[in-house]
Structure 1
Amino acid sequence: MLTFHNPAHRAHAGRHEMYRGRLVDCHEVPQRAELVVDELKRRGFGQPRTAPAADMRVVESIHARPYLDFLRTAWAEWVSLDPSHAALDILPSVWPNHGLRRDVVPANFSAKVGLYAFDAGSPITAGTWDACIAGAACAIEAARQVAAGADRSALVVTRPPGHHAGRDFYGGYCFVNNTALAAQALRDAGHARVAVLDVDYHHGNGTQSIFYERADVLTVSVHGDPMTEYPFYLGHASERGAGAGEGFNLNLPLPRGTAFGPWRRALEQGLDAVARFGASALVVALGVDTYEGDPISSFRLTSADFVEVGLLLASCRLPTVIVLEGGYAVADMGVNVANVAEGFAGG
């Protein structure tokens, strides 16, 4: 298994996020990725690779250019408004909700932030753009290496995560959708049908929205029921795709407190869908926030269960790119991700 790492991720380190009316410390912290890299090296996976600069043609095929321009320039614009802003993160305070226009980009900076953000828990910092675009580069390069036959699988250890980011919006700690970029890079490399399997606790609403009207990319997600779990407004079983993509989106929501047995059965259902689709390559959005100790999630997988998760993913016998997404029990992050990698390699 090839491994890729994005050292620039350290530049994205939010100070606070908004939670239930107050600012709290961020759950999405640099140590998440660092502990994973350390544990992978300890287990003999070797020094992870870095990637050349991101191919912006691929990035712009997934994300709208005005949105990317916003991410690239947001910090400079923020600080230009007031130099004291350098000591603060960017969080939104207004949103264009029901009946309000989203087709006009406002001149006002706060309004612009709200146009693209869908929550107040995803701070933009001085290093957010650099971290995101370097992570995108890793996802694209990993997909290209797997498509070229350098290895049958690759693991991308990067942050911030990406699966909540859509074509022109961010939230859920996600700004650029690394999972979607890996899938698109595999398509560009000649794979006619690519499956995306999201096993994060939280539904990958961004990935679903990006591919919802496409028949060449199957999106499958096993996640917490959006009736009670973030991101709330997408991820229901009734969402099956639209237009050319109808029938190519499968959501498998599960209730709070789900243990490994029923979670595994849902995953096997998703794997069956991948097989029926006839995918020639697989992208896994790997969230380990299904872990029983995760502070913001409510499934009950143990560290040992993640070895079996890796084995199940390997049973597809497809060229596979695994992209790191969520997981906020920081001290156990390295063990849980490395267990998936070992299980996959053993499979």
Structure 2
Amino acid sequence: MSYTLILFDPDAAKHDPGPEHPESPWRWRSVGGALLDLPPGAELRTPTRLVKAEDLFMVHSWGYVARVLELRGKSGALDHETMLSPGSVDAALGAVGACIEAVDEVLSGNARNAFVLVRPPGHHAARDRSGGYCVFNNAAIACAFVLARGMRRVLVVDIDAHRGDGTQEIFATRNDVLVASIHQTGLFPAEPDPADVSEHINFALPPGSDDRAFIEALDEALRRADGFEPEFIVVSAGFDGHEDDPMSDLAITTNGYAQAVARIREFAEEHCHGRLVLILEGGYDGAALAACVAASISVLAAETANDDLQPPEGER
């Protein structure tokens, strides 16, 4: 019987951009706490796949990869927000390897779905630049690996409070990857020129949006994606839209995120034999992040997607 694979790399804590930086190792301690009591059907592992240069070149330019690797073992900065410590590049490489390992396990049928708990995050990184704390675009590399393994179409669902601009840029001219981003309006990055992401789906929620608004936007995004007929789904699983998170003004609850994962899982089961990989992005309140990770794992590992879930706020 297949299982829900949870990949968690303790070495991710070696990425330390500084005590005042939001994307700091304490996030990792919070995530680790969510893994102490896993539900039946979930299997926790430390990732083992080593990254090859060609893995990075699937979505990033040679020049950008070289620039990042020059900082391996050093402190530095890729941009004004993306700070590196001596362990940061190795953590970023480990994140890429973990994402590819998860995709491989799901495609092989060993795991029915997976959640990859990595840092630094990735969805703001573009072909030749970093951005928004992101070094390599983990989700985009996962998509490229899916396509390299013979799948024809991949859907990315980005539920972070900040638009997944890097992922959308990387696949702006492709017709085999569709990116649906549900995020808060007015946050970094700016809303795109429609001509630049015309094939992608963007829902910008106003500040204060709750579970009901979030789920309605997600349902509409999935409805639009229905005709795309994806064969694999990658989720940029950011939880910084949580009502307790300091990085947005959204009011999504832990149950709201669980509902979102359940709906995406149902969509995956209807369209692509359940092939689904979640990849951690943002989430900057420790307790909220741990709760959302635990709730998401419970949904992924449950016998059915909606086991014991409460309706979203506003529908009770």
Could you say which TM-score interval applies, normalised by the shorter chain?
0.7 to 0.9
Q: Does 1:36 align with 2:22?
A: no
The answer to whether the 8 Å contact 2:215/2:259 transfers is no
The answer to whether the 8 Å contact 1:40/1:46 transfers is no
Provide the residue aligned with 2:299 in structure 1: 343
1:9 alignment partner, one of 5, 9, 12: 12
Q: 1:266 to 1:235 in 2, by over 3 A?
A: farther
Q: Does 1:229 align with 2:187?
A: yes
Q: Does 1:271 align with 2:227?
A: no
Equivalent positions of 1:124-273 (< 5 A) are 124-225=84-185, 228-232=186-190, 234-235=191-192, 238-239=194-195, 241=197, 247=199, 249-273=200-224
Distance 1:49 1:2 in 2: 10
Superposed displacement of residue 198, structure 1: 0.3
Please, which moves more after superposition, 156-165 or 306-315? 306-315
TM-score, normalised to structure 2's length?
0.88
Q: Give a deviation string over 1:272-300, Cα, whole Å, max 9, x none.
A: 12322000110000001110010111110
Which amino acid is 1:125 matched to? S
Which amino acid is 2:5 matched to? L
User: Secondary structure in 1 aligned to 2:35?
Assistant: helix
Residue-pair matches, total: 293
The answer to whether the 8 Å contact 1:4/1:49 transfers is yes
Superposed displacement of residue 336, structure 1: 1.1
Which amino acid is 2:48 matched to? A
The answer to whether the 8 Å contact 2:18/2:24 transfers is no
What is the percent sequence identity of the aligned residues? 29
Q: What is the root-mean-square deviation of aligned Cα atoms in Å?
A: 1.7
1:305 alignment partner, one of 252, 256, 276: 256
Distance 2:28 2:225 in 1: 28
Provide the residue aligned with 2:246 in structure 1: 295
Superposed displacement of residue 127, structure 1: 1.3
For structure 1, list consecutive stretches of 5 or more residues without a partner in the other structure: 17-24, 80-88, 92-112
For structure 2, list consecutive stretches of 5 or more residues without a partner in the other structure: 306-316
Q: Give a deviation string over 1:159-212, Cα, whole Å, max 9, x none.
A: 000000011111111000111111111111111011111000000111000000
- Higher Rg of the two aligned structures: 1
Which amino acid is 2:139 matched to? T
Q: Give a deviation string over 1:19-63, Cα, whole Å, max 9, x none.
A: xxxxxx111112223322331341233432312201321211111
The answer to whether the 8 Å contact 1:37/1:48 transfers is no
Q: Give a deviation string over 1:66-111, Cα, whole Å, max 9, x none.
A: 11111111256xx6xxxxxxxxx534xxxxxxxxxxxxxxxxxxxx
2:231 alignment partner, one of 274, 280, 295: 280
The answer to whether the 8 Å contact 1:9/1:131 transfers is yes
Please, which moves more after superposition, 309-318 or 39-48? 39-48
Distance 1:239 1:199 in 2: 22
Provide the residue aligned with 1:330 in structure 2: 286
The answer to whether the 8 Å contact 2:243/2:251 transfers is yes
TM-score, normalised to structure 1's length?
0.80
Distance 1:142 1:182 in 2: 9
